[in-house]
């Protein structure tokens, strides 16, 4: 069955040619090379039909482009095919094919109308821009966007040229450099679409559009030079790029193309666009961003060998341990329509838990992601209590989320099992403790599984799931499917203390504390790693987690992995001084920083080591570029080394998942590709040499692990 077809018909008194996208066995329309070939062949036929019609006097009045897929016009280009293109000439051919095809559509001798009902993304939007008119539905799933910059590339199929000519640079630049999707109504407001109506009324708009006196405007846009971009607009756009969440290379490149195209013809502008697209896709950052986006989609669908059919139904759940984490888990359950009992031993933590859940619903309300009635119903679905009651006997799942302390968790788990039904799945939210020791506290370990959420629960999409040898397939499947129901990405990891995220993250955090104590001011360490791309510096992150929690988790992991996980003495001194991080409360909570409201300034009373270390907090030796770069390298390479150990121990089923999980769980910068991709691109032999230098200078904890050495010696990468 053809993915692209056309047919002639009468519609509202008009002779129409309807070109329809309908690739078989696909939920979405995606522009693959094969589909573009079919589109070219169909255009051959349509051009022939229009020429024959002109000769016979029966030419069609309008060509309509539509999709047979529900809630989808065109969802962009095939990312997998783009990732396979590493040679510049291959990328140029890929761009040129679309430029020619869309130019042919723009040059058809009759008006063309794109009927947009659902996703119109990237190449789909660029296709619609080549049409004379665009009709959008008011379907909430109609989203029109040029999101390429979020993938490390730029709109490469005419988007940088046709959109500014259509709506003007002021409206176009935020879409080209920011990637934000527009609803049909928003697109209508800026002139990106010509009509926005209910889907059922879209065909009725054809007669009105075809009869508009400005029907030739599409042709004039194609032949007009690109307008100048005012200097003030260029400056404002560049400033917005600098403060945005998107890696700036692609947005800056897109802006440069639009500016450089001023006064140039469409063809000249398309050539500028093509070359910038080639540079972006051929770069490490562009490849990494696109690769991680592509593989995140695959990770969401990964089964991990779990039999989904074995999963139990979850209608009622409980959370043991309130506070911020417990409240976040309760929020996630209630927002998925699950009745939740939240239990703690006292009213105060329950108040904190309910406050945390309330704040998460308030954030959804503020962003328009829910309404007041749904938020109220969600909160009403959470029942706080200090006692076990009859309701516990009807629970499908119970999640233990008390403080990370082995004896406490064991006691709570044993007590919980005594109060729930025999088939209730019991989950622990541990992040560092041995599962086997926790499972020993329940009489039926087959129903015991780890379900590790990340804080803040409403923002972090990752959930680590781990089973012991005794865990039943049904219990594991129930935990995995519950995480998916909560809108999370579950990853099944091997049962080892710290699982994967904390196992890799903590050597990085602890090394940052060591370098701060020895040589470099906290602000300098954090600033350098923020420049690397981390969402927050490691010392600021320790403050957010809590100095006490960090030390406790570190020392628990040290029991399994040795001294490289031992909390450095600075953390102990901070705890002795009552400096526990942001949660310390009072007028000014102290950690590595002094926290007052949302502001954080350096803690002048940080109990740094006495002795002959270089002066800190502003001294030239402490803030010298070489010293700061060395500090950042120490932190990052501790992370790389631990990631390599996790590959060696098969904590997850493939190295790619190590990178994906670290991006999802810690915010490791996507444009770096994850710690393993970063190591590959830096060079494993270079990494090994550098770590040997660090081991000589700072201690054996930097000794490169066997997996790193083997791959470096054999010239093998972690990732293809």
Q: State the sign of the Cα–Cα–Cα–Cα dihedral 25, 28, 29, 33.
A: negative
Q: β-pairing, 462-467 with 448-453?
A: antiparallel
In angstroms, the CA 110 to CA 129 distance is 15
**CB distance 445 to 439 below 8 Å:** yes
Looking at residue 317, what DSSP letter applies?
E
In angstroms, the CA 320 to CA 227 distance is 62
In angstroms, the CA 566 to CA 558 distance is 5
HEC assignment per residue over 320-365: ECCHHHHHHHHHHHHHCCCEEEEECCCHHHHHHHHHHHHHHHHHHH
Residue 295 appears among annotated catalytic residues: no
**CB distance 378 to 334 below 8 Å:** yes
**CB distance 608 to 570 below 8 Å:** yes
Give the phi and the psi of residue 487 in degrees, each rounded to 5: 80, 15
Spatial CB neighbours of 83, under 8 Å, sequence gap ≥ 6: 287, 290, 291, 294
DSSP string for 376-428: HHHHHTEEEESS--GGGGG-SEEEE---S-HHHHHHHHHHHHTTS-TT-EEEE
Tokens describing residue 428:
């622990």
**CB distance 712 to 685 below 8 Å:** yes
Counting beta carbons within 10 angstroms of the beta carbon of residue 359, is it exposed (0 to 12), middle (13 to 18) or buried (19 or more)?
middle
Counting beta carbons within 10 angstroms of the beta carbon of residue 27, is it exposed (0 to 12), middle (13 to 18) or buried (19 or more)?
exposed
Q: Point out the catalytic residue in the list 99, 247, 295, 452.
A: 452
In angstroms, the CA 52 to CA 347 distance is 81
Spatial CB neighbours of 501, under 8 Å, sequence gap ≥ 6: 431, 452, 454, 462, 464, 661, 662, 665, 666
Q: Is the peptide bond before 167 cis (omega within 30 degrees of 0)?
A: no
For 315, other C-beta atoms within 10 Å of its C-beta total 12
- For Cα atoms 655, 658, 660, give the angle at the middle one, nearest 5 degrees: 115
In angstroms, the CA 594 to CA 604 distance is 8
Spatial CB neighbours of 57, under 8 Å, sequence gap ≥ 6: none
In angstroms, the CA 515 to CA 59 distance is 76
Counting beta carbons within 10 angstroms of the beta carbon of residue 618, is it exposed (0 to 12), middle (13 to 18) or buried (19 or more)?
exposed
Radius of gyration of the chain (CA): 29
In angstroms, the CA 508 to CA 506 distance is 5
Residues catalogued as catalytic:
452
């Amino acid at each position: 069955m053809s993915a692209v077809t056309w047919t002639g018909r009468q519609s509202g008194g008009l002779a129409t040619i309807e070109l329809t996208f309908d690739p078989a066995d696909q939920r979405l329309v995606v522009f693959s090379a094969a589909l573009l070939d079919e589109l070219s062949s169909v255009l051959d036929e349509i051009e022939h039909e229009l020429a024959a019609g002109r000769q016979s006097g029966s030419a069609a009045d309008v060509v309509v482009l539509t999709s047979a897929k529900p809630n989808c016009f065109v969802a962009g280009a095939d990312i997998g095919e783009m990732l396979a293109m590493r040679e510049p000439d291959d990328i140029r051919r890929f761009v040129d094919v679309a430029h020619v095809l869309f130019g042919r559509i723009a040059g058809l001798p009759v008006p063309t109308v794109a009927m947009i009902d659902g996703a119109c993304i990237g190449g789909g939007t660029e296709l619609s821009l080549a049409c004379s008119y665009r009709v959008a539905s008011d379907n909430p799933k109609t989203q029109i966007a040029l999101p390429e910059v979020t993938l490390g590339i730029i709109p490469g199929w005419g988007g940088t040229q046709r959109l500014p000519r259509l709506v003007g640079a002021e409206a176009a630049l935020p879409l080209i450099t920011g990637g934000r999707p527009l609803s049909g109504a928003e697109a209508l407001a800026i002139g990106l679409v010509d009509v926005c109506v209910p889907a059922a009324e879209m065909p009725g708009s054809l007669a009105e559009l075809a009869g508009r006196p400005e029907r030739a405007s599409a042709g004039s846009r194609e032949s007009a030079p690109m307008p100048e971009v005012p200097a003030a607009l260029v400056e404002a756009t560049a400033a917005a790029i600098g403060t945005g969440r998107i890696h700036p290379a692609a947005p800056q490149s897109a802006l440069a193309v639009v500016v450089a195209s001023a006064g140039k013809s469409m063809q000249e502008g398309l050539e500028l666009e093509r070359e910038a697209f080639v540079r972006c896709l051929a770069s490490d950052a562009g490849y990494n961003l696109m690769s991680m986006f592509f593989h995140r989609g695959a990770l969401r669908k990964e089964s991990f060998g779990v039999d989904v059919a074995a999963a139990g139904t979850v209608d009622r759940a409980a959370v043991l341990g309130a506070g911020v984490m417990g409240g976040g888990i309760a929020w996630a359950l209630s927002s998925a329509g699950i009745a939740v009992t939240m239990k703690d031993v006292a009213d105060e933590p329950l108040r904190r838990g309910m406050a945390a859940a309330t704040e998460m619903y308030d954030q959804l309300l503020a962003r328009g992601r829910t309404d007041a009635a749904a938020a109220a119903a969600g909160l009403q679905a959470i029942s706080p209590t200090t006692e076990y009651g009859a309701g516990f006997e009807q629970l499908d799942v119970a999640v233990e989320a008390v403080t990370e302390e082995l004896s406490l968790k064991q006691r709570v788990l044993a007590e919980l099992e005594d109060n729930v039904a025999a088939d209730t799945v019991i989950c622990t939210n541990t992040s560092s403790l041995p599962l086997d020791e926790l499972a020993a506290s329940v009489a039926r370990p087959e129903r015991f599984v780890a379900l590790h959420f990340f804080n803040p629960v409403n923002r972090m999409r990752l959930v680590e799931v781990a089973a012991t040898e005794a865990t039943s397939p049904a219990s594991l499947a129930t935990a995995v499917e519950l995480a998916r129901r909560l809108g999370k990405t579950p990853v099944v990891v091997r049962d080892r203390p710290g699982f994967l995220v904390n196992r890799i993250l903590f050597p990085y955090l602890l090394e940052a504390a060591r370098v701060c104590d020895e040589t470099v001011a906290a602000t300098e360490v954090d600033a350098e790693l923020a420049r690397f791309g981390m969402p927050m510096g490691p010392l600021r992150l320790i403050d957010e987690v809590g100095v006490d929690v960090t030390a406790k988790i570190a020392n628990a992991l040290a029991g399994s992995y040795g001294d490289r996980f031992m909390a450095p003495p600075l953390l102990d001194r901070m705890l002795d001084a009552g400096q526990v991080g942001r949660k310390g409360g009072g007028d000014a909570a102290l950690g590595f920083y002094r926290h007052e409201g949302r502001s954080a300034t350096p803690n002048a009373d940080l109990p740094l080591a006495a002795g002959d270390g270089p002066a800190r907090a502003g001294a030239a030796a402490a803030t010298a570029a070489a010293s700061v770069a060395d500090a950042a390298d120490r932190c990052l390479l501790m992370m790389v080394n631990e990631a390599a150990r996790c590959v060696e121990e098969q904590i997850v089923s493939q190295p790619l998942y190590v990178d994906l999980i670290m991006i999802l769980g810690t915010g490791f910068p996507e444009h770096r590709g994850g710690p393993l991709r970063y190591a590959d691109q830096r060079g494993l032999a270079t990494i090994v040499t550098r770590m040997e230098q660090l081991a000589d200078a700072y201690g054996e904890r930097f000794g490169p692990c066997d997996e790193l050495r083997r791959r470096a010696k054999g010239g093998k990468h972690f990732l293809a």
